[in-house]
Amino acid sequence: MNGLVLLGISVAILVIAYLLYGRYLVRTWNIDPTRKTPAQEFEDGEEYVPTSPTVVFGHQFASIAGAGPINGPIIAAMFGWLPTIIWLLAGTVFFGGVHDFVALYASVKNQGKSIGHVIEIYIGKTGKRLFLLFVWLFSILIAAAFADIVAGTFVGFDAQGDPIEANASVASTSLLFIAVAALLGFLIRKKRLSDMASGIISVDMLVFCIVMGIFFPLYLSKTLWMYLIFGYIFVGSIVPIWSLGQARNYLNSFLLVAMMIAAFIGVIFTAPEISIPAFTGFEVNGNYLFPSLFVTIACGAISGFHSLVATGTASKEISNERYMLPISYGAMLLETLLAVLALISVGSLAVGGKLPSGTPPQIFATAVSGFLHKIGLSERISFTLISLAISSFVFTTLDTVARLGRLTFQEFFAGSEHTKPSRLIWLLTRKPVASACTLIFAYLLAILGYQNIWPLFGAANQLLAALTLIACAVFLKKTRRRGFMLFAPTCIMLGVTFTSLIFTIRDKGAKYFNGTLSLAADGVQLLFGVLLLVLGVIVVVACVVKLGKKTQDLDVVTIKGV
């Protein structure tokens, strides 16, 4: 299969999906451009901040992309390029895009609150608390895994103590990104920069940071980087979103788009051949096509993490409902394009049907730099810049999940607005305390290494997507909106994730009874696997019970616009 042909087919399908199916969803759910959005109605300068749609799109896209759409397709290529591309395209059009759109839509229609709040209104308080506990555990998993990955890409020395210049340059550039993001956030918020002005300044800042990072690399150990990373995301999770997180994500979105354009141009001009089989089998190296393919490819097809970003930040920043489609469905389709480029990259490096060695980011950077080298650019510089882009976006996801974990922890302990909380509850719902409680557990897990956490990430992520879909299905039914397009994705993803978690529990349980269980690695996976499965089943049962009941008029009158 030729990579250029595959890319052309993918782009055509994604564009048609946006123009037809995306707009169909807009008409079906009655998007109202005349209504005030939560960002306008509850503006507080902290979380609720009316923002330019360009900035919100950049924030959303940079937050959801990360390393997921690169890692997943490259790993899943072991099953062949055909099942991988089918799941990427069908998944994003009918699963992931719908999931992101309906999550954002439900949140905007409910005062910009989280999916947990939506569950409380339409399902009950118990369902909400269980869902929030699930999300909090999931946030800890992501923060731990991604912090370890970021620290690994920043470490300035190898096992022998020799300096690693590329890593040190990436680390230095990333720190500069933080500093200039604070300045950019101030300019956008206080000086009311136009989209064009903020874009020009962002590009200039990016170039400055990259050049300075290359000339002034920073060499630090992984242990020290872990301290610095957790210290940064602690601060980033409690300051106003416009002052750091939103601006940094917007800044990084330019780098991500530039990386995608470079890969896109490289594929167009080199038309690489995909040298892996179309299909290798239903079982490869002990991994079964079902559920492995659908869990391995999360970002790029469907990802529960996207709903946390959409309802935790984007829904509080949108200034008009008409922007919901491009910010949610559109960003999801663009992320899938990155996943397709990753698939073409791994296929182009395969030899005799054998996948290349190395980590997925290394494979992607090697392939893209090779494409660019063939059209006259320096392979070394291209490789460095692509690696920098990938590392920056893992860091960006880490920014976002730290804030989401803090918000979820606060919401879990928050009581009714009409009752005075106890001193303990008051303390736990303070921003610094809620963030510290989340990140301390994440740090302890990160010490184990992301390899011991990652096997659970895919299943937990997809189960979160399924729970979001079924909760939104209840919301649509209760508010007399059509939600049939959510039923098939919900059922399929529940089957995938429950099967994956059961397999994990079975395998780790067998190790326990055989006396070969490693407490640090297998024990953590067994504990989290059981917790996630139990919480998921309880939330699903509560939602199914509500779906089975006849639609009744809502007795909640405080929610406007539903």
Cα separation, 167 vs 156, whole angstroms:
6
| CA dist., res. 293 & res. 279, Å (int) | 12
DSSP notation for 225-239? HHHHHHHHHHHHHHS
Query: What b-and-e string marks burial along 363-396, b requiring 16 or more CB atoms within 10 Å of the CB?
Result: bbbbbbbbbbbeeebeeeebbbbbbbbbbbbbbb
Per-residue confidence (pLDDT) for residue 558, from 0 to 100: 38
pLDDT of residue 415: 66
Q: List, as one string, the DSSP characters of 484-538.
A: GGGHHHHHHHHHHHHHHHHHHHHHHHHHHHHT---IIIIIHHHHHHHHHHHHHHH
Cα separation, 111 vs 239, in Å, equals: 21
Task: Mark the ranges of the chain whose per-residue pLDDT is less than 50.
Answer: 553-561
Closest CA to 404 of 106, 141, 68, 44: 141
Measured distance CA(430)–CA(419) in Å, rounded: 17
**What count of residues does the chain have?**
562
Per DSSP, the residues of 310-353 read HHHTGGGTBSSGGGHHIIIIIHHHHHHHHHHHHHHHHHHH-BTT
- Tell which residue, 307, 303, 311, has the closest CA to residue 338: 303
| Predicted structure pTM score | 0.86
Do residues 241 and 447 make contact, with C-beta atoms less than 8 angstroms apart?
Answer: no
Q: What is the pLDDT of residue 561?
A: 47
Count Cβ neighbours within 10 Å for each residue of 507-540 and write b for 16 or more, e otherwise. Answer: ebeebeeeeebeeebbbbbbebbeebbebbeebb
**Domains by residue range for the chain, with CATH:** 3-548 (1.20.1740)
Q: How far apart are CA 500 and CA 496, in angstroms?
A: 6
Q: Distance (Å, rounded) from C-alpha 465 to C-alpha 95?
A: 9
Is residue 204 within 8 Å of 379, Cβ to Cβ?
no
Residue 260 to residue 245: CA distance in whole angstroms: 22
| pLDDT value at residue 551 | 58
Looking at residue 554, its pLDDT comes to 44
Q: Are 345 and 367 in contact (CB under 8 A)?
A: yes
Question: In sequence order, which ranges of 239-330 are alpha helices (DSSP H)?
Answer: 245-270, 289-296, 304-312, 324-325
Helix (H) or strand (E) holding 284: strand 283-284
User: Do residues 88 and 300 make contact, with C-beta atoms less than 8 angstroms apart?
Assistant: yes
Rounded to whole angstroms, how far apart are CA atoms 112 and 239? 19
The verdict on whether omega for the bond into residue 291 sits within 30 degrees of 0, i.e. cis, is yes
Q: For residues 247 and 184, is the Cβ–Cβ distance under 8 A?
A: yes
